[in-house]
Structure 1
């Protein structure tokens, strides 16, 4: 949405505004005001006019202009009714030099999760990918995944869903015995950069919002199933605003993740790639056996899981799949 059109909306939100007065305040012609109003109507904004001027009665229920209107975060929104993958489109924008754009879709037809796993993304969900150009060293980029998980969890909690985070990137609801919960959302982060700087980061967020569990894999849940349908416009706005707060302070994001963790304090099995001793960093990385079992005791900046094994060794895991186990 361009700045003039946004200014027109802001003016109309405050009450009836005569066209000539609006034109004068914005420094444009009356015909330009009329064209902007018509474009906003075409985008779904309910705008009426009478002797007192133009009045905004209601924004659209969902979509790019709807989310941008009233959004207290510096993101433009590119919206699609259906798209193959919001992450794929966000990567295209990133390679073109774009920043601070959220690609949003009602439905994804070719979505994927971590390790190229299939991810169900039917109509009614919140499928969004944010293009970032953070001033961070590549080693600190994982904190953005944690920030997105916190933002998603907070938005879900404000909607009435008691969500928690399973390391590294799943948002869960409820318990299945003592082994975890039902999956509500997931985060997929992609990055390109050099050794000393990040070129771009795409943070993808998929939330089962107004989606029937009949359309989801076994073990998944949705906001609809937990508390009923929500206002997706307000949900996305809150998610983006909270994420914007946290991306500016990665260490704060990690601390907030700890407070919302479903994993810390749990006995876990982690399928690992490379692990690092948390008690002797100077020893450097070592290859793990591929499977690590112990208690998850901490998450270390910028997002490594610290696991205490049964023999008392603390191991820092930078990437892997985590499974919550029953206590011994």
Structure 2
């Protein structure tokens, strides 16, 4: 989507706008405004032209322009019907100098999760990678993983799904049988130096409008819990919350409080596989910038900075 069309959409998101005013805002002719309006109509936007000016009365279900329209975050969107990996595409954009871009897709063919695990990403899900260049020290970057999980859990609650977070990056839903199943995973990638971040990619994969038989064992979808959801509105909610929690003006320590409120891990017995060995005990807190505090059976508190966490059943 070109910048003129993007500016036009931003103007129309506030309500009806007369053609002359649009031409002045865009610094183009009235004929050029009409041409861009027609292009948006071809993309699926229902735009009326009345006495008050142009007004959007219908938005396409999904796609770059649809996601950007009314988005409460300063991101541009690149959309693909099918792509190998949104994270890989975001890396290419990072290397090209881009920033504040969301790469979204209807389907991924080569998605990967943590520890290079395969991530099933069929059509109907929400697969998106957010490319950022935060002016924060590398030590604070784990907060972005927590913030993305909080954003997804919030959006899930908005559509009636009681989602909670397993440390550090999985969003879970408990079924009627009490089993916790994975609704969303978050994968962050970063490049930088000791004192600065060159770029950060926050990959978010949500099992949205996906049939149960297309999901791997242990997974859950929004469709199974609440019926089909508006993917555009859901992703906009996630992106808006992510920006709110991580913008330069935000107090990122608030992320920890928001994470605690939605945590499934705290007060649970856990086993965490870390690079230096296994830590087992009760998860009692999360500390800045996202480390898990585990009280072992010996009464010691171990601070785990990274690892693979498993919720254990009560003895």
Separation in 2, partners of 1:323, 1:177: 18
Residue in 2 aligned with 1:136? 136
Deviations along 1:137-170, one digit per CA (max 9) or x if unpaired, are 1111111100000001101111110000001110
- Out of 298, 301, 304, the position equivalent to 1:314 is 301
Residue in 2 aligned with 1:285? none
Instruction: Flag structure 1 segments of 5+ consecutive residues without an equivalent.
Output: 274-287
Residue in 2 aligned with 1:37? 37
Residue in 2 aligned with 1:117? 117
Separation in 1, partners of 2:85, 2:10: 32
Could you say if the C-alpha distance between residues 24 and 88 of structure 1 is closer, same or farther in structure 2, counting changes exceeding 3 Å?
Answer: closer
- Out of 253, 256, 268, the position equivalent to 1:254 is 256
Residue in 1 aligned with 2:212? 213
**When the two structures are superposed, what TM-score results if normalisation uses the length of structure 2?**
0.93
Residue in 2 aligned with 1:323? 310
Residue in 2 aligned with 1:303? 290
- The question of 1:186 aligning with 2:185 is answered yes
Could you say if the C-alpha distance between residues 18 and 213 of structure 1 is closer, same or farther in structure 2, counting changes exceeding 3 Å?
Answer: same
**When the two structures are superposed, what TM-score results if normalisation uses the length of structure 1?**
0.89
3-state DSSP class of the match of 1:93? helix
Separation in 1, partners of 2:13, 2:243: 24
Q: How does 1:1-328 map to 2 (within 5 A)?
A: 1-12=1-12, 19-20=19-20, 22-24=22-24, 26-49=26-49, 54-174=54-174, 181-248=180-247, 249-273=251-275, 288=276, 290-328=277-315
Deviations along 1:246-278, one digit per CA (max 9) or x if unpaired, are 1133211122111111001000111111xxxxx
Residue in 2 aligned with 1:280? none
Paired residues, number: 312
Contact 2:19 2:54 in 1 (8 A): yes
Contact 2:81 2:106 in 1 (8 A): yes
Separation in 2, partners of 1:119, 1:175: 21
CA displacement at 1:4 relative to structure 2: 3.6
**TM-align CA RMSD:** 2.0
Could you say if the C-alpha distance between residues 301 and 15 of structure 1 is closer, same or farther in structure 2, counting changes exceeding 3 Å?
Answer: closer
CA displacement at 1:48 relative to structure 2: 4.0
CA displacement at 1:27 relative to structure 2: 3.5
If you compute each CA radius of gyration, which structure gives the higher value, 1 or 2?
1
Deviations along 1:168-202, one digit per CA (max 9) or x if unpaired, are 11000015867x61100000000111111111110
Instruction: Flag structure 2 segments of 5+ consecutive residues without an equivalent.
Output: none
Could you say if the C-alpha distance between residues 118 and 15 of structure 1 is closer, same or farther in structure 2, counting changes exceeding 3 Å?
Answer: closer
Separation in 1, partners of 2:293, 2:177: 24
Separation in 2, partners of 1:35, 1:172: 46
Separation in 2, partners of 1:242, 1:13: 19
Separation in 1, partners of 2:113, 2:170: 11
